[in-house]
Structure 1
């Protein structure tokens, strides 16, 4: 290692383009960039002169958070030396007239790298093939050298080193190989200055564009995704379920391991793997086919790209002891065992990405090599054949590690580039991990190249972007445009949506225009609607008291007595406000002149409506906390179904956590990302229960709530039996069929929604009435009327029915398995409908 004599631990200077540096240093002394191209050579100096008028306008627009920083200019005569400077230990200095050092700091380089190597965005990176011959290319503009280390096998020592050639125009290092390299494993030896340890190092690192890997991601594997040997039977001619518009989509969020880990109808070696989806007669696949027949259109798989937290080899993983099944439902022992085995088990949600474009190996029957490719493709094919399109949950907003840490990939190839940095050069962590910087052009390219690979090579039908608000809006629009151009697959039919939350260093468009809820209006790219979610459930996901009630959990109409809900007057006012938010959500959460803080979409296809997902407590668990504890199990089922009906009967995409139709519980766990298969169980057999009462949830994220949890988990009246689970599931299927039954539930445009949907009887606490004019939309009916009665008593709201109107129950409701539903009726004299307690009913006007 070669250390620079000037090695500050911070990097307050930022080099924004080839001629401009910003640094908020005092206005005295002489500033310069200093670097040492060779240990034996003298230090080189690039003098910096102040820029008159401050940062140029073009750069203020690109870097709004740096608009007031002091700006310096690199002399034009010195621009020819930039290549050496960028590949050397580099610092910014301020010295007095005698040369005495007054101040020094490291230099952030992403801006100048984007400027100098803009041509790299057109390069093909990673492994590519031409007539059977491979080429490997990696972008490493600050590297002094890059060497390919080619291995004959995934773990053997038979290796050879191959020099790679640098293109000075792009900063890309490449090598053309031989056909017999197919299937070999490889890494790169990258010699580069690493600011995190202030030294020149040689890193052995996997390919950021890896397509296949050895077990535990130690080595990349050189594969050709067009190789027929990597395709399951019928892959080339795979038929897709019918295309649906975004507002017609209904999405079921599913974790690969959860899907089959507890399914006794899947052969043991296949449980928890991609291959479980290829077992057509398993309980899980039968359930998915039934839901597809009822109207479910998509399955969203939680992250399946390579992630860091799990052991990919299944041998030796701890198995929950039988003792756990005999412990009390509110015991601390279950979570103690789970917490002790975290990191040694095979379980994680997968939100700690390692390689963005290679399938995760722990879900393959053999994690070593390309079996993961063929098996993920086979899973996609099986889901398509079951009538379901497949969405991938993608996590480009952060990395598992950075700097020289184990598990760091991007930052060991181009240090300081791919991560978003604070003013002092430290990596931003607002995402809860180590933020990436997709505002930098090569990170944006990586995202686009990766998504296009998944869409084309794995025939993925949609992408859910984790923390999409940390991406620039411009990047998401560019990605949408690239998908639309695809011809090998129907790229225009690929869904794009994500979490449009706004927080952290980028909040308020501080660094770029973000892909947040309001900003994405009019783009056709969806965002999740947390307004409706919280209005139905009550409170928010981070509340200190989990008993804050909402529309679907008894606020005002069935108070639970918790002080967090306020006075009766406050509850009533809040409930009516929640009902307004839900009503806006039912119309696609469109921009509203009367509630500008609520609606934000321009068209209904931009709405992702949900009441639960993998994050936070399941809907059943949220209702367990919020409903009065003496609420009967039958009424809990009714409130679960009613809450899900709000999702299914509104305009926009409907999103449901897998198993919520079966009252899925995680035993009140608020954050089960690392809680193992014990708390994350997805049970297809109703005889096995729903997961409630598996013990107190893990202390790390739940200890503060144990006093609320204990009396609930220990109450046998709250534990669903087969009858309750079956009832919830069958009623959910009915609402799926209702959603599919009429274009009334996917009208398509904001203008038509505003013209056709009204909300009579707005002032009844706990009751929402929605009328949809279906004239010339559905030839069978003149209108569809939906009533959500969340109160513990029957309700008879006015529905704006004209004199002489003929109104009857929707055919699916008329044949419902729910006997209470049949009590719903229309009175032609009063022109009102009567809806039983805690019931969502649908009527049609003939």
Structure 2
């Protein structure tokens, strides 16, 4: 007889070996430092206290075990505020930078509270660590385990998603605010949100003053295990812990997974001129890759590089990933500048890096999605060669080729066809699959989709760096006028170009990633590096949902079609050959006349015929054949239906040149092409027809 668990509310939790661990009679504090000569625990009563109410000295002979300093303090409870303080050698030439006066953030801190305080006395006072009780009623919540090949990812910023007054919600800019907007996410049909960094990062300068350029994106980690306090609605220390869990539970209840953007490549401590906040003051030469011991390597472009392949740091990263997976129920990770994980302790790129393999093979991460940004700031570019089948990658080649093709760049015909088919040139080796390619046209870093078709050049003056920051290679166009315009002709081509690129993104083999707000034509006014714009430039403008409801409807229709049709999300690469009894190839390419395509033709016009997989390939099949007609030329083109499709019943699904609602037919009941007549398609246009169900 099958027995259910008698207490389903009792969930598996991952116990961290270091940091502040709650015990029946107090709290155990443990921290690693090999070179410290003494260690102190600073306890505080209130979040705004400048100095501790109690200082506890670790007894070197009693409280040190190997390189771990550990002490149990009785009669303290969750909510207790603390720092560590370590004495040791200050010898930069040998990689040591101890500062006996520095108040240090626990590398394993589960939450921070408060802000940096003024440092007139020369002592930096960072936010305080909070003792956290991990208990939480998950009400039976589990990881959703959506197949990656079925996923549609929505990249978003927790604060920016709901901070605008236009959101009209109770808790703007917070984890709880995301919960209030779950109905909108469900209406889009996305299967996962990819959250820009939610681990702790500074929100003011280390002297307590306002930052000259506010840290909005959050790619400047200060405590890897702690959810960002700035996104909590509650003011009590540690409120962010339960609020984050409430958000995850609510998203899961809506069928939406949570993927975290994690930044294990650098920290906010910067280079040798930067502050001592945590890692520097505990074991500098272990946590960072140093050059000649004294200086910091800068493969991240942010002042330092985390020494990810040192055994101690590697252990910390694994504990961190497991902590987020099992104590917060997150469903996966996107690793920022992941190529740094391929560098050894001297900064050299190594084949088969152990860190990359260990993440893929870790049994406690087996349910998670792992996605690499497969490059770094020092020239490593590993798109297509990062890891094995377990690793997916942001496909930067997809972004560039799709942008170039629709802009009309010569020589892009074959490239965009390869991206549409799943990028087999990048991922077919070593047993990888189309879903290893995370396809995107835009991301947080760069132009929004609206700005991609409205600006030829970046406009970053608001960042205060004289427009020097941000990428100059945007593969964008303004179609006649830089920025907003009332000219209807330009407005029309911009709108169809957005639809062209969104259609290509959401109907390519691989896994699409849509950036929050692109479906509403959100603009950053030409800013392609809005890392410091914690304002209306970056925030989601909810008025656009109604203003551009036709574009939202268009995206909803594309996502629904993708999720319904196995033809659009194959788990194996297309071969161009018939399969499993069908007499036509799984994919075929044609020129406008319906003849075999010459990949060297200068004309950017083609059609693609995608044959539905049979039930033998997809038990949930009932798929349809799909014909896509692409015209990225500057003139109207006439297309013949490919031979495979003649005699079949077809309905128009998408016409990016038509006004709404004739631009998409979500119920697949669009007009039937006139028998024997060619298909007329305007310039910069895409038309898609779908057949009757193949798998009857």
TM-score in terms of structure 2 length? 0.78
Distance 1:189 1:580 in 2: 59
2:39 counterpart (146, 162, 171): 146
Q: Distance in 2 between matches of 1:803 and 1:456?
A: 50
The aligned runs of 1:4-19 (5 Å cut-off) are none
TM alignment of 1:570-609, pairs within 5 A: 571=409, 574=410, 577-591=411-425, 602-609=432-439
Instruction: Give the aligned length.
Output: 597
2:225 match: secondary structure: strand
- Residue 627 (structure 1) shift: 3.8
1:19-168 paired onto structure 2 within 5 Å: 124-131=17-24, 133-156=26-49, 157-163=52-58, 165=60
Contact between 1:248 and 1:652, CA under 8 Å: does it hold in 2?
A: no
Partner of 2:441: 611
Match of 1:389 in 2: 257
The residue aligned with 1:660 is: 518
Residues 479-501 of structure 1: CA distance to partner in whole angstroms, max 9, x if unpaired? Answer: 2322xx23xxxx43311102101
| SS at 1:788 equivalent | strand
Deviations 1:30-72 (A, max 9, x none): xxxxxxxxxxxxxxxxxxxxxxxxxxxxxxxxxxxxxxxxxxx
Number of the residue aligned with 2:131: 222
Once the two structures are superposed, what CA deviation does each residue of 1:217-246 show, in whole Å capped at 9, x if it has no partner?
5221111212xxxx4xx5242366x53222
Say which of 294, 298, 306 aligns to 1:436: 306
In the alignment, structure 1 residue 361 sits paired with structure 2 residue 221:
no
Give yes or no for contact 1:213–1:219 (8 Å, CA) kept in 2. yes
SS in structure 2 opposite 1:809? strand
Question: Using the alignment, how far apart are the partners of 2:240 and 2:446 within structure 1?
Answer: 30
Distance in 1, Cα, partners of 2:589 & 2:25:
63
Does the CA contact (< 8 Å) of 1:126 and 1:136 recur in 2? yes
Aligned to 1:783, the other structure's residue is in SS state: strand
For residue 162 of structure 2, the aligned residue among 252, 257, 260 is 260
Q: 1:238 to 1:263 in 2, by over 3 A?
A: farther
CA shift for structure 1 position 123: 8.7
Structure (1 or 2) with the larger CA radius of gyration: 1
- Greater helix percent: which structure? 1
- Is 1:309–1:343's contact at 8 Å kept on the other side of the alignment? no
Determine the structure 2 residue equivalent to 1:277: 178
Q: Which residue of 396, 419, 422 maps to 2:291? A: 422
| Alpha-carbon contact 2:285-2:293 (below 8 Å) kept | no
Deviation at 1:152, TM superposition (A): 3.2
Cα pair 1:246 1:652 within 8 Å, conserved: no
**Does the 8 Å contact 2:98/2:282 carry over to 1?**
no
State how far apart, in whole Å, the 1-side matches of 2:29 and 2:274 are: 25
Aligned residue for 2:278? 409
Q: Pick from 496, 502, 523: which aligns with 1:644?
A: 502
Q: Which moved more, 1:381-390 or 1:809-818?
A: 809-818
Indicate which of 647, 655, 658 corresponds to 1:805.
647
Residues 31, 106 of structure 2: 8 Å contact kept: yes
**3-state SS of the aligned residue for 2:536?**
helix
1:379 aligns with 2:252: no
- Alignment equivalent of 1:245, drawn from 136, 147, 150: 147
* CA 662–310 in structure 1, closer or farther in 2 if over 3 Å, else same: farther
Q: 1:290 aligns with which of 171, 177, 187?
A: 187
Partner secondary structure for residue 471 of structure 1: helix
Q: Distance in 2 between matches of 1:351 and 1:612?
A: 18
| Counterpart contact for 2:83–2:104, Cα < 8 Å | yes
Partner residue in 2 for 1:235: 138
Q: How does 1:592-741 map to 2 (within 5 A)?
A: 602-625=432-455, 626-629=477-480, 631-686=489-544, 722=547, 725-741=548-564
Alignment deviations for residues 786-824 of structure 1 (CA, whole Å, 9 cap, x no partner): 233334544344553337531412668899943256897
What's 2:406 paired with? 552
Distance 1:781 1:804, change over 3 A: farther
Alpha-carbon shift at residue 153 of structure 1 (Å): 3.3
Mapping 1:168-567, distance limit 5 Å? 170-178=66-74, 180-196=76-92, 201-202=99-100, 203-216=102-115, 217-226=126-135, 231=136, 235-238=138-141, 242-267=144-169, 270-279=171-180, 284-292=181-189, 296-310=190-204, 343=212, 348-366=216-234, 368-402=236-270, 405-406=274-275, 408-423=277-292, 425-433=294-302, 434-472=304-342, 473-482=353-362, 485-486=363-364, 491-501=365-375, 504=378, 507=380, 516-520=382-386, 522-537=388-403, 550-553=404-407, 555=408
Between the aligned partners of 1:152 and 1:836, the Cα distance in structure 2 is 70
Q: Aligned equivalents of 2:111 and 2:142: distance in 1?
A: 25
- Write the distance in 1 (CA, Å) between the matches of 2:331 and 2:545: 34
- Work out the CA distance in 1 between the residues paired with 2:98 and 2:523: 51
Shift of residue 179, structure 1, vs aligned partner: 5.0
CA contact 1:141–1:414 (8 Å) conserved in 2? yes
Q: Is 1:819 aligned to 2:646, yes or no?
A: no
Q: CA RMSD in A?
A: 3.3
Counterpart mapping for 1:744-759 below 5 A: 744-750=567-573, 756-759=586-589
SS at match of 1:348: coil
More displaced 10-residue stretch of structure 1: 787-796 or 472-481: 787-796
Contact 1:639 1:790 in 2 (8 A): no
Task: Give me the whole-angstrom Cα distance separating, in 2, the residues matched to 1:256 and 1:729.
Answer: 20
1-structure distance, mates of 2:309, 2:634: 51
Q: Deviations over 1:551-575 (max 9, x none)?
A: 223x2xxxxxxxxxxxxxxx5xx2x
> What are the Cα deviations for residues 653-682 of structure 1, in whole angstroms up to 9, with x where unaligned?
101110001111100002100022131131
- 2:604 counterpart residue number: 766
Show CA shifts across 1:82-103 (max 9, x none). xxxxxxxxxxxxxxxxxxxxxx
* Structure 2 partner of 1:563: none
Partners of 1:447 and 1:799 in 2: how far apart?
Answer: 54
| Separation in 2, partners of 1:350, 1:397 | 13
**Where do 5+ consecutive residues of structure 1 fail to align?**
1-121, 318-340, 509-515, 538-549, 556-570, 689-721
Q: Any conservation in 1 of the 2:439–2:505 contact (CA below 8 Å)?
A: yes
* Per-residue CA distance 1:4-49 (angstroms, 9 max, x = gap): xxxxxxxxxxxxxxxxxxxxxxxxxxxxxxxxxxxxxxxxxxxxxx
Deviation at 1:175, TM superposition (A): 1.2
* Structure 1 residues 147 and 424: alpha-carbon distance in aligned structure 2, compared to 1, 3 A threshold: closer
Deviations 1:574-623 (A, max 9, x none): 2xx3222221112221237xxx9x99993112101000011011121121
Q: Does 1:790 align with 2:632?
A: yes
Query: Aligned partners of 2:157, 2:605: CA distance in 1, in Å?
Result: 34
Q: Which whole-Å CA distance do the structure 2 matches of 1:413 and 1:384 have between them?
A: 38
The alignment partner of 1:174 has SS state of strand
2:108 aligned counterpart, secondary structure: coil
For structure 2, the residue ranges without an aligned partner over 5 or more in a row are: 1-14, 116-125, 343-352, 456-476, 481-486, 579-585, 592-596
Q: Give the secondary structure class of the aligned counterpart of 1:278.
A: helix
TM-score normalized with structure 1 length: 0.65
Question: What SS does the corresponding residue of 2:43 show, helix, strand or coil?
Answer: strand
Contact 1:760 1:799 in 2 (8 A): no
Structure 2 CA distance, aligned partners of 1:768 and 1:467? 36
* Structure 1 contact 354–407 (Cα < 8 Å) conserved: no
